[in-house]
Amino acid sequence: MKIKSEFLRKEMAQESRPQFNAKWSVLTNPEKRNFWEDSESFATGEHEVGQLILTLQGLGYPKLFKNALDFGCGVGRLTLPPSHRFQSTWGSAT
């Protein structure tokens, strides 16, 4: 049956494909060998956002910590840290 064999071919191809960690594809590090623990990945985001906020505060911004918007947020590595500082935080992957 053609439909069944096509389905099996695609399924086998899917199984032979290496599994990639979405966090690694955004934050590559050869030492991680394609894998980040959630806590490690999100800690890097916390550090990067913290540094950005310190820089912005040195320039007198933001005036209010009211709303934050992250376009292209992916897994949310850079969306989660502002949620601890701003009244509202949104992330959009598209």
Report pTM: 0.68
Q: Are 66 and 86 in contact (CB under 8 A)?
A: yes
Higher pLDDT, 75 or 65: 65
Mean pLDDT (the chain) is: 80
Q: What does DSSP assign to residue 30?
A: G
In the predicted model, what is the mean pLDDT of residues 42-59? 94
Q: Are 40 and 73 within 8 A, CB to CB?
A: no
Structural tokens at position 65: 């910590």
Smallest CA-to-CA distance from 71 within 86, 52, 91 is with: 91
Tally Cβ neighbours within 10 Å of residue 72: 11
Give the tens place of pLDDT for each residue, 1-40: 455 555 555 555 555 555 656 676 677 777 877 778 888 8
Q: What mean pLDDT do residues 63-76 have? A: 90
